[in-house]
Amino acid sequence: MKNGKTVIIVIIALLALVSCGKNTVLNPDANDPTAINFGTSNTLDVITWNLRNFPEGTDLTTLKEMISALNAEVIAFQEIMDYNAFMDLAEDIPYYAACVYSATDTYRLAYLYDTRSVTLNNQYTIFENDSNPFPRPPYILDITWNNSNYFIINNHFKAYGDNYIDESDSWDEEMRRRLACQKLDNYISTSLSDKKVIVLGDLNDQIAEPEDYNVFLSFLNKPEEYYFADMPIALSPTYSNVSYPSSLSHIDHILITNELFEDFENAGSYCRTILAENWMLSWNTYSSTISDHRPVGIRISK
């Protein structure tokens, strides 16, 4: 982590992020009800998307069209149940290459990245033998974009719970998610210090909750080091902007380290939930043939 900035300066910067319009745009394509376009040719566009038991019940033709329309540099996926089906999907999408990990046989994590603008340096998993906090080991993509190095950490945290952290039960869902955050914080601090890191995925909990049962305090209590780019959504959740609208929950998140703060303050940078159902003109159609999660994306302008 960078140590040059004082906490006060960073807190002011973070407040500016929340208040500045360019970073709170939730649906800039509202004038076109079918548009899900996200990426541009001169920004780093990264998306997290839980595909719910892919490819079971998936409209593959429509999914391919949607991925192309998103036009992102990197898309991190969760719940890939069939390795071969995902690789076949990637082969049918021009310019994209796939990475799927082998740490689990089901509920895999995966990536698609645009080979025109992204160079893959490495891919690897961490905490493979630590299934309590990580039922799906985090999957790291080490890439170069626009001559800069980035590390993307894809996650799918333990689901369910009761909004209560049971300190006496190490298998309590909230305990496991809190421990996952603590371990990720420690890993980033020791292994990816001073690197541009994006932590994302289906984290299965909400970030704007009271401290008593907020599992993300390892990040939230270090505003000089981390920022949830989707915090404006979490602070003002509506059916039209959360990632999991069936229960009005925002549980898919994007966290950045302070090495990206300055870029995220640039004009054109923002984070938003992508209303992917607009492509199909119906939430019911989308949720039955693609996913029950909406994708969440971050645009970073250098």
DSSP state of 138: -
Task: Indicate whether 21 pLDDT > 70.
Answer: no
- Integer-rounded Cα radius of gyration of the chain: 18
Residue type, 130: D
pLDDT band at 1 (very low <50, low <70, confident <90, very high): low
Place of tokens 């800069």: 148
Sheet bearing 270-273, strands edge to edge: 96-100, 108-114, 74-80, 44-54, 296-300, 270-273
**Nearest Cα residue to 176 out of 155, 158, 156:** 158
pLDDT digits (tens, 9 = 90+) for 208-232: 999 999 999 999 999 999 999 999 9
pLDDT digits (tens, 9 = 90+) for 120-144: 999 999 999 999 999 999 999 999 9
**Nearest Cα residue to 176 out of 129, 215, 207:** 215
The alpha-helical segments, DSSP class H, found in 200-280 are: 217-220, 231-235, 261-265
pLDDT digits (tens, 9 = 90+) for 59-106: 999 999 999 999 999 999 999 999 999 999 999 999 999 999 999 999
Q: How far apart are CA 12 and CA 230, in angstroms?
A: 17
- Looking at the chain, the whole-number percentage of residues with pLDDT higher than 90 is 87
Q: How far apart are CA 76 and CA 251, in angstroms?
A: 15
pLDDT digits (tens, 9 = 90+) for 238-273: 999 999 999 999 999 999 999 999 999 999 999 999
User: How large is the angle between the packed helices 83-91 and 60-70, nearest 10 degrees?
Assistant: 60
Half-sphere CA count of 158, side-chain side, radius 13 A: 21
Residue type, 228: F
Sheet bearing 139-145, strands edge to edge: 118-125, 139-145, 148-156, 196-202, 252-257, 226-228
pLDDT digits (tens, 9 = 90+) for 155-196: 999 999 999 999 999 999 999 999 999 999 999 999 999 999
CB-based contacts of 138, cutoff 8 Å, min separation 6: 109, 125, 126, 127, 153, 154, 155, 184
Task: Please state the domain extents for the chain.
Answer: 7-300
Dihedral sign for Cα 276, 281, 283, 284, please.
negative
Q: Which fold has domain 7-300?
A: Deoxyribonuclease I; Chain A (3.60.10)
The per-residue pLDDT for 20 is 39
Residue type, 42: N
